[in-house]
A and B are shown apart, each in its own frame.
Chain A
């Protein structure tokens, strides 16, 4: 009974950690620009796919992962420079539509540049499951959870304890005011796109040994990550992480204790109920004050 509970818990947390990272990427860009970047899932795909192909080309895994992160950052910056920046006067809705277009483009290019097959990566530290009080856990799960914790911590330190980080927060709070005090908001936005691309790529690299990857894994992840961000309260980094973990847990416990057929429906039902009760999400208060 306990073992069963733990199994669901860890499986939920692992999947949830990935949702959390995707939601975090959404949050970072949303804060800097007010745009919901629907190409966020494609960054996750790029992280996984580039690592797979770089390591297939003979590179050691750490180097391949580094290349993947750099590639994702480069594409994030290009996306900002050539798609978002030229349209900066447009409304947020227009920008969101641009990101949807970008996500379709990236997926299409990936299908041609890589292929349409599924790929795997070897687990970082072996495949032998670890026994945690009767629950069998893949070592990679610890990498995913640990990696997520490190990313969240690093982001927190960056935002709260560095000057550039504070500039990001200032831009998020009020773009015009930030500009008036001498912050280059265009650079900050580029930074946000690069940063969230890196977070997405890291998520993709960490999770590929468990979930496999292909050119079109991004779509569903973007959807789940968006749901997680909404659940936690759009624009709140803490909310994004908690929203992601919660969504993962809802799915795992829903499948385990209720019915696997209605697993997704169950998770989304809970989200709907939460949003009916608190339309700003669980931690969405600060956003209201800012706007």
Chain B
């Protein structure tokens, strides 16, 4: 029986991949939908999300499913195209009749799908970064990743502790960099920060010494913040060291929170600080840290199943799936409306991204403690003790 079920899941899943599913609803299963950017320019986000969902749905089903029902996972790949995402969202609702959705890799595809789920009144847990997803609050839309606004706040909090008030910014002009720069500019006054230099660079630029020279020659810059993504921040960091600016504290964003940043920036990365999720430093968390267990287990499960290093993006999918599963258990129902109500009541959920406490006015439920301030020392991440 079990082998048969596995075979069936396998067949169904492969049929889904080909987009051939006609949604034959088997007895005793519930359908959870997902639209992810598994291929295309955002594949580095979508791929770990896709793998995470598959690994954990299999695990959940192997241990008996949720409230006696097996989960049937329907994943579509939008290839990073918001138009396709919307089409797939409609298909999930109308053909597959899913009871909830965990997906939406990019902010663009999430925003395109929101109206579909709002109209169908099906809960949608998004994996996209931008704050627009949950601000303003929409009844059926939730999200798991921290926002760039929180990253700015975390950096400014650290700057404030070190008594710095005048900062220079050098931001990428890509979506991530531009959005985070805007959020930083917005929250700067509430932390007493004054942005005295504000430079930018293109996502494909190979030399940022001109911009950094300008910041260097701006009077009174006490620290520099670099919201950016991809290889740009690595080049900025190298140019920063080249120009001998390392006596000015340098902050990167969570956008570069991966080992490859340290590899690319090399020795120039020493002393750079950045906010990042606990998942990255799981092995360095103290034993009594509430997230220690979750992040170590997720890391092990992901790395042993995929043979690839863990990323925070897959972690967002893990959080989304389990927030949903917990809510389904509490609701003890497959009614989307009841599940939505329970998702909103999520309290003290310990995920890879932080401890989630949702409310009718907060569909993210994370506070600044979700970010850890890290400093790169000896080619590795190190937790910055609070207050230093």
Residue interface mask B257-289, A partner, CB < 8 A = 1: 000100110111000000000000000000000
Distance between B43 CB and nearest chain A CB, rounded to angstroms: 7
Interface of A is mostly: helix
Among residues of B, the one whose C-beta sits closest to the C-beta of A264 is B202
Neighbour of B202 across the interface among A118, A207, A263, CB < 8 A: A263
Contact, CB under 8 Å: A256 / B231: no
Chain A residues within an 8 Å CB radius of B243: 7, 129, 136
B234 is an interface residue with CB less than 8 A from chain A: yes
Cβ proximity bits A136-149 to B, threshold 8 Å, 1 near / 0 not: 11100000000000
Binds B, one of A8-16, A172-180, A278-286: A8-16
Query: Residues 211-235 of chain B: 1 if any A CB is under 8 Å from the residue's CB, otherwise 0?
Result: 1011001000000000000110011
Q: Which residues of A sit under 8 angstroms from B199, Cβ to Cβ?
A: 260
Which of A22-30, A69-77, A85-93, A209-217 participates in binding chain B? Answer: A209-217
Residue B124, interface by CB 8 Å: no
Q: A212-B234, A255-B211, A256-B214 are in contact. Are A118 and B206 (CB under 8 A)?
A: no
| Nearest B-chain residue to A140, judged by Cβ | B242
- B204 beta carbon closer than 8 Å to chain A: yes
Bound complex: CA A118 to CA B231 (Å): 7
Please, how many angstroms separate the alpha-carbon atoms of A158 and B160 in the complex?
A: 62
| CB-CB nearest in chain A for B201 | A260
Name B263's closest neighbour in chain A (CB-CB): A120
Cα–Cα distance between A240 and B217 once the two chains are bound (Å): 34
Contacts known (A116-B43, A136-B243); A214 close to B213, Cβ less than 8 A: no
Q: How many residues of B contact A (CB 8 A)?
A: 30
The complex places the Cα of A263 from the Cα of B170 at a distance, in Å, of 14
Residue of B44, B202, B209, B234 ringed by the most chain A CB atoms within 10 A: B209
**CB contact under 8 A between A116 and B206, given known A127-B267, A212-B234:** no
Instruction: Please tell me the number of chain A residues within 8 Å of chain B, measured between CB atoms.
Output: 33
Check if A129 sits within 8 Å of B260, measured CB to CB. Answer: no
Highest count of chain B CB atoms <10 Å: which of A119, A211, A264:
A211
Q: Please, how many angstroms separate the alpha-carbon atoms of A220 and B199 in the complex?
A: 21
List residues of A (232-266) whose CB comes within 8 Å of B's CBs: 252-253, 255-256, 260-261, 263-264
Q: Mark A117-135, 1 if CB is under 8 A from B, else 0.
A: 1111000000101000000
A263 contacts across to B, CB distance below 8 A: 201-202
**In the complex, chain A residues whose CB is within 8 Å of the CB of B201:** 255, 260, 263
Task: Please tell me if the beta carbons of B260 and A7 are within 8 angstroms of each other in the complex.
Answer: no
By the criterion CB–CB under 8 Å, are A210 and B207 in contact?
yes
A11-B264 contact given A136-B242, A136-B244, CB 8 Å threshold = no
Q: Which of B154-206 contact A (CB under 8 A)?
A: 173, 199-202, 204, 206
- CB of A261 within 8 A of CB of B213, answer no
Of the candidates A7, A119, A220, the one whose C-beta lies within 8 Å of that of B204 is: A220
CA distance A220 to B201 in the complex (A): 14
CB <8 Å contact, A210 and B206: yes
Whether B266 contacts A120 by the Cβ 8 Å rule is yes
- Whether a CB of chain B sits under 8 angstroms from the CB of A4 is yes
Task: Please tell me if the beta carbons of B231 and A212 are within 8 angstroms of each other in the complex.
Answer: yes
User: In the complex, A214 Cα to B204 Cα: how many Å?
Assistant: 11
Interface hits, A52-68 → B, CB 8 Å: none
Binding site for B on A (CB under 8 A): 4, 7-8, 11-12, 14-15, 18, 116-120, 127, 129, 136-138, 207, 210-212, 214, 217, 220, 252-253, 255-256, 260-261, 263-264
Other A-B pairs beyond A7-B209, A120-B266, A260-B201, 4, CB < 8 Å = A211-B207, A252-B210, A255-B210, A261-B200
Q: List 5 A-B contacts (CB under 8 A).
A: A12-B210, A118-B264, A127-B241, A129-B241, A260-B200
Closest 4 CB pairs of A and B: A211-B206, A256-B210, A255-B210, A118-B231
